Structure 1
Amino acid sequence: MEYQALYRAFRPQSFGEVVGQKHITQTLRNAIKRGKESHAYLFSGPRGTGKTSIAKIFAKALNCPNGLDGEPCNECHLCQTITDGSANDVIEIDAASNNGVDEIRNIRDRVKYAPSEAKFKVYIIDEVHMLTTGAFNALLKTLEEPPVHAIFILATTEPHKIPATIISRTQRFDFKAIELNEIVEHLKYVAENQSIEYEHEAIEYIARAAEGGMRDALSIFDQVIAYSGDKITLDDAVIITGGIKTEDLNEWMKLVETQNTKDAFLKYHQFIDEGKDPVRLVHELLYFLRDVILMKHSNQVDDNTAFVTLDDSVIYDLIEILNDSMVMMRYSVNVSVHLEVVIVKMVQALNKTEASTSSVSSDEIRRLESQIRALEAKLEDGKFTRPERKRPEKVRRNRNVFSVEKIKEVLDRANREDLEKLKAEWPNVYRKIEEMDNQPLRALVKESEPVAASETQVLIMFQSDVHSELINNDDEKKKELENLIPSIIGKEVRVVGVPESNWQQVRQEYIDKRRQGVKEEKKPSDVAKEIFDSSIIEIKE
């Protein structure tokens, strides 16, 4: 018998064999036992988490004449034909290659005929989000008035692309990423079944590299077996995945911790020369920092591990740098160079921390010591009173996400007419970007909204702090948007970005400052109405 890939050989054939997704398998088994099957289901979730496998098990359990407790027997003729894909009454369709109206109309014409062998005709449509608008409309008619003998199972990794009219006519099941320990246990079971020796660290590394997908885990495991032979080691797993061992990662991060930028660069280029993937390295760094935090809070500190002596706030800053870099690397032409910049940013973050801790002068230390002695004397005399706490500052600035000065510049000249015109035309701006197929700019503008406008400038609010930072600091992206807007609204303007998380506070501060400077005969409410859309202003005297 010819060799079969592990993800196919160990595909679950019953609900009990499914790894994870208990909230789904138990619901479907109970529905079969009680005879309360729905006419349509939507299975959504990450790749490799069991959507099509559970769909086929469900089709078998529905039609198996020897089924017990909601499980198929997997021995009868019907179960075996469904398993090998030859059953006439269980139809699997790949919507990625059969996404037109004609294919769905063909289903609609055939679905009215009764099943030939089974109790139910089951249609499994994989990657259903790939259907065209016309195909969705044709499918909608069938879902509205389905025959009693037909059941539809729609599987997708992108449920947000499916029309709400389709989703509302289905029972939706959201598949979750499979937990690390569940993947580890299953890989151990597969290794023992195949008589393969393994190192526990290698199995854990493969499970982590799969990022919650069992199919990915088995595929990587298959590759490592082909490379290693009869025994799987951690080194083999690292080579196959293009990752990096924890020891090497720790050595690299120690160079960053000691701010040895030159050697950190040399180490990084050594990894690249060995064929390591820069994106994969960022993932590994995030896991490393996560492990450092867990180590510190579980009182299992290894003094030889990088960053264990740092405050948690500094480690959080490093994690934020890596998270931002992952977003930026999606649009970067040269990800290797981008990671070099990340190394410099991490060193700078550590350098700032060191500078702030070492900036206290000897005079300051003496002054603090005298204050401590005075407080101790008050405690002894019983005259100690708690000092009044200072209120925190209104706006906490972090990173160069936005500029208050540039925002004030827009608001000083803002008027309602220009804002209303820009708001009305903003969907056309987004549509124009889609027509240009400019994906990076489309991602920036998608979650944005104009909040102020003048003859020469516009203020755009972004849901993401990262997007606001990009439009303010990336001259190329900013120029692309500024060149596009005149073709829609008929005049050239300069764009300024502000994050949604800070906008309300910045706006209120601006109004308060204007309120202090306006003349007595002019109400502050009139100032606010001049600048902002009056429909969103609530006046409280």
Structure 2
Amino acid sequence: MPLYIDYRPDSLEQVAGNEQIVTALSNLVSRKEGRPHSFLFTGRPGCGKTTFGFVLKNLLEVSDEDFHIYDTANTRGIDVIRGIIDDMKYSPLNGKNKLYLLDECHMATTEALNALLRTLEYGCPEHCYFVLCTAEFDSIKKTLREALGRRCARFEVKALNPREMTDFLNGILKSEGFEEYPENIISKIISVADGSPGEALNALDSVIELTDEEEIIKAIEGYIYGGKEVIEICHILVNDKVLQKWREVSKILAQLKVEDVERSRRAMLNYFEKILLNKADPSVANMMTLLTESFMYTGRAGLTLTCYYICRKLEGLSDDIPF
């Protein structure tokens, strides 16, 4: 099994970092009266928002059959909320409670969020709980954002700092049978993960079977840039000698086999960041802006459209690109 699955926390004691949230959740869930029925976790991607949802599942004694997860980026309409409201009428199948986790809830429609808010305020049975997760809380309409803040126990999940990440990785490595592991490799993984425990485990998973230190470094760098296809796309975008950029980039995108499109987007950002740190280049900064703002969390189609817009702008064929 992948490390991020093997080492996903089952309890608050297993959560790395965010001690204040761990303490607060422990106190809230232990209440016999006045326990909140809705929890809102905000914070940057990969910091552990949904992990807290899985931990709450166990704390609230929710069975697998009564734990419902919704990717709101793909199921964002009011019909989803109506389905939840209908399901709430029924008792749990096995455990004591039901839990509904709405990931990336900022992607839900205004109509859906309004229906959800009414449910949270007036119609939440004793056996039903909600976990809302979002990396873009500020993108929600102000009135809805304020209402969610009032009706949910809100927690801002922080990325792990280097010390916390070092302790976290050393604990994993010890559990995997490594009494010692090169410090420079751990530092490299920490740099790649950028505070995300899940990203750190994915990077570690890609090298944990390797023994040669040079091979490990190369593998981690390959992980950073997401493979040769992503590097090829970046090369084309920054190479002034390639005139028909979209024609070349579209060929690569058509063949690109990527399970995690957002990882490819982050890989491109890492590549362009290194260029920008070495030389001030407005065109590179513009590419980074488009990759970070306009099309995040829109899947493969969003990555394709982002690359198309960048190519059109660099080829001088359009003035209406959003940067």
Residue pair 1:40, 1:171 contacting (<8 A) in 2 also? yes
Do the aligned partners of 1:206 and 1:237 also contact (CA within 8 Å) in 2? no
Task: Please give the per-residue CA displacement for 1:395-420, whole angstroms capped at 9, x wherever unaligned.
Answer: xxxxxxxxxxxxxxxxxxxxxxxxxx
1:330 paired residue among 266, 273, 288? 288
Instruction: Find the counterpart in structure 2 of residue 178 from structure 1.
Output: 160
Q: Runs of 5+ in structure 1 lacking a partner?
A: 64-77, 245-276, 290-317, 334-437, 441-473, 482-541
Match for residue 160 of structure 1? 138
- The superposition leaves residues 257-304 of structure 1 with CA deviations (integer Å, 9 ceiling, x where unpaired) of xxxxxxxxxxxxxxxxxxxx7743554588xx8xxxxxxxxxxxxxxx
C-alpha displacement of 1:91: 2.1
TM, length-normalised to structure 1 = 0.42
Question: What root-mean-square deviation, in Å, do the aligned CA atoms of Structure 1 and Structure 2 show?
Answer: 3.5
Aligned to 1:127: 104
1:233–1:189 distance in 2 versus 1, CA, 3 Å:
farther
Structure 2 residue aligned with 1:210 = 193
Letter in 2 for 1:240: I
Residue aligning to 1:233: 213
- Alpha-carbon distance in structure 1 between the residues aligned to 2:319 and 2:272: 29
User: Does the 8 A contact of 1:225 with 1:232 survive in 2?
Assistant: no
Name 1:280's counterpart in structure 2.
Answer: 270
- C-alpha deviations, 1:203-235, integer Å up to 9, x for none? 111111111111011001111124x2xx36265
Distance in structure 2 (CA, Å) of the matches to 1:25 and 1:134: 33
* Bigger Rg over Cα: 1
Contact 2:73 2:108 in 1 (8 A): yes
AA in 1 matched with 2:60: L
Paired residue for 1:101, among 74, 78, 82? 78
- Counterparts of 1:104-503 in structure 2, within 5 Å, are 104-145=81-122, 146-162=124-140, 163-164=144-145, 165-196=147-178, 198-226=181-209, 228=210, 231=211, 233=213, 236-242=216-222, 279-281=269-271, 283=273, 321=280, 327-330=285-288, 480=320
How far residue 239 of structure 1 moved from its aligned partner, in angstroms, is 3.8
Deviation of 1:332 after TM superposition, in Å, equals 8.2
User: How far is 1:144 from its partner?
Assistant: 2.1
1:17-51 CA deviation, whole Å, 9 max, x = no partner?
A: 10111111110001122334212111111222221
CA contact (8 A) 1:43 1:155 kept: yes
Question: Separation in 2 of the partners of 1:37 and 1:131?
Answer: 26
Residue matched to 2:66 = 89
Bigger relative contact order (CA 8 A; separation at least 6): 2
What is the TM-score with the length of structure 2 in the denominator? 0.67
Q: How many residues align?
A: 254
Unaligned runs of 5+ in 2: 225-266, 292-304, 308-313
Structure-2 change in CA distance of 1:209 and 1:479 (3 Å): closer
- The CA distance in 1 between the partners of 2:290 and 2:98, in whole Å, is 48
Match of 1:8 in 2: 5
Tell me if the contact between 1:201 and 1:234 (Cα under 8 Å) persists in the aligned partners: no
The CA distance in 2 between the partners of 1:439 and 1:56, in whole Å, is 33
3-state secondary structure, aligned to 1:188: helix
Deviation at 1:135, TM superposition (A): 1.9
